Structure 1
Amino acid sequence: MSDLLHPKKAICFGEILWDNLPSGRLAGGAPMNVAYHLRKLGLDASLMSRVGDDEAGKELANFVSSIGIPSENIQIDSKHSTSEVLAEVKTNNEMVYTITYPTAWDFIAWQDNFEKQIATADVFVFGSLAARNEASKKTLLGLLQHAQFSVFDVNLRAPHYNKATISELLSKADFAKLNENEIVILGEWFTQQTDEKNVVKALMEQFALSEILITKGAEGGTYYNATQSIDYKAEKVEVVDTVGSGDSFLAAFLSKKLAGETIEDCLTFAAKLAGFITSQKGACPSYDVADIAF
């Protein structure tokens, strides 16, 4: 009952945008997707972002409100337009994104009430994309100074990242989530290792990370902390699209972790939700958690 009266608080920072998919136009952005699923899973999750003062921005802000995410930290930019992304499906159902620059969420400005919000949140989730421009990056680094538990969703999108920025963000994070391609890139940049376990160990030591979670699509993935590594299997589902599956996985994992569940249970729960999302259209389909067999 106490969790219902005082749910865990999460804040997600970064991009919100329109994904122009082959199947149509959908609202997107990893921070929004993670916030959506965290709220579905019972957390008090909110979003810090920015949209343009245009029709696309109004529609996006309305969508965010319609799926239950508070909109008070979504800023309106009078100079820069709302973000639009062209998403294309490649081999193995992987999505390739062409992301406009600059756009409204590149200019997320510091607000006086941000410090208290971050300091009282149980988890702060951020990615690398929102650090591609100095304005949002400065705000993000300011927020990270006050975070209790910071989760870096690495989310490398070429050409919107560089080694120096990723290094700086890793050094501010407690927990890093990345995919099988991103761990290879980070291994080449920051370690002299090629074996995954050795790469992870070197990254954890170099950047003082307490946990690393690697997602590997249909192959499942691996969780690491200082004392153990745990593999998990992906759910076997009929794939509709993979948009947002990793975001739902992260949200599900964090929801169970913050509830004090075992890592094995966190991974099982996360794999089941990600499998369900992969079987649906879009990153934020409507669903009742009770209807999914966890």
Structure 2
Amino acid sequence: MNAICFGEILWDILPTGKVPGGAPMNVCYHLNRLGQQAALISKIGDDENGKELIRFLQDHQVVTSHIQTDAEKPTGTVIATQIGNEMEYDIVQPVAWDYIDITPSLLQMVKEADYFICGSLLARSEHSRTTLFELLKSAKNKIVDINLRPPHYTKDTVTALLQQADILKLNDHELTLIASWYTDTDTFEKQVHILSSTFTIPTILVTKGAHGATLFYQEQFYNHNGYKVQVADTIGSGDAFLAGFLSQHVSGTLPDASLDFACRIGAFVASKKGACPDYTLQDILNVIQ
């Protein structure tokens, strides 16, 4: 897999301390951890938080040469508060990743990559949104990870991203909201069909928290009940899920087996603090029902 992950890089500020985060960075971290080749395009501030993130990524063999530095805006932070097993987020703005610049070298890199992975949160700012849609024009296979964090999205921006997606990942709450823009059906499978047919998206992944996940692929539904673990926090579990699925899918693994692996790694990360724990492939395979 030769993939480019585009979007936010930041620190999640937890009650227990700060941990590296940002959905695209998390996906990139896990893809590399799973033996795939992925690079990250983002932007940090010229500050200690930014330098710490670069050191973290380099320590984990993630390519950092395409991460820009902003002399004025700070490195991104998110104040995370745990409510039960779920997290609530205060996403600080403006920060460096709101101002990612377009360059000829980035355009060429995206054009040559097999996969381009992006989310919706970064599109909250006009500057980075413009860069995102310019890069999408050059991308071959586009993977869109919807991440609806009020007030950081608009219907128009989400719709524009859906129009680009070859693979779409979202959670069940996001599915219900977005489907309500286009249909009045409250049936899960019909909602997925509506998004797939309206925007010509052949592959859709829907995570359901503790209730597992569903894959819609080649007009078929694959369901998984998920793995039961002792939850530490849910930060980054959906990002690990996406990376896990892609690492198998691009290798030709059967859909149900790809979904199972995705659920395993998502559950594993939920059992650990933060989005990017250390682990081996065997740790993921050891996750049991």
Q: TM-score range by the shorter chain?
A: over 0.9
Query: What residue is the counterpart of 2:143 in the other structure?
Result: 151
Partner of 1:38: 31
The alignment partner of 1:113 has SS state of helix
**Cα offsets for 1:152-187 (capped at 9, x unmatched):** 100111110010000011101111100011001101
Structure 2 residue aligned with 1:127: 119
In 1, Cα distance between the equivalents of 2:150 and 2:60? 29
| Superposed counterparts of 1:219-238, under 5 Å | 219-238=211-230
Equivalent residue letter for 1:215 = T
Give the share of equivalent positions with the same residue, in percent: 45
Letter in 2 for 1:62: R
Of 242, 249, 255, the residue aligned with 2:234 is: 242
Shift of 1:279: 1.4
| Counterpart in the other structure of 2:76 | 83
1:116 CA displacement: 2.0
- Deviation of 1:191 (Å): 2.3
Change (3 A) 1:263 1:84: same
Decide which moves more: 110-119 or 166-175.
110-119
SS at match of 2:181: helix
Q: What is the identity, as a one-letter code, of the residue corresponding to 1:259? A: S
3-state SS of 1:89 partner? strand
**Matched length:** 286
How much has 1:226 moved relative to structure 2?
4.3
- Return 5+ residue gaps in structure 1 as ranges: 1-7
List per-residue Cα deviations over 1:119-174 (Å, max 9, x = no partner).
Answer: 22221110000100111111110111111111110011111001000001110111
Partner in structure 1 of residue 7 of structure 2: 14
User: TM-score, normalised to structure 1's length?
Assistant: 0.94
Query: 2:233, 2:273 within 8 Å by CA — same for their partners in 1?
Result: yes
CA distance in 1, matches of 2:125, 2:114: 27
Pairing of 1:210-225 with structure 2 (within 5 A): 210-225=202-217
**Matched residue of 1:247: which SS?**
helix
Counterpart contact for 2:23–2:236, Cα < 8 Å: yes
- What's 2:54 paired with? 61
Q: Cα RMSD over matched residues?
A: 1.2
Matched-pair contact (CA < 8 Å) for 2:202–2:219: no
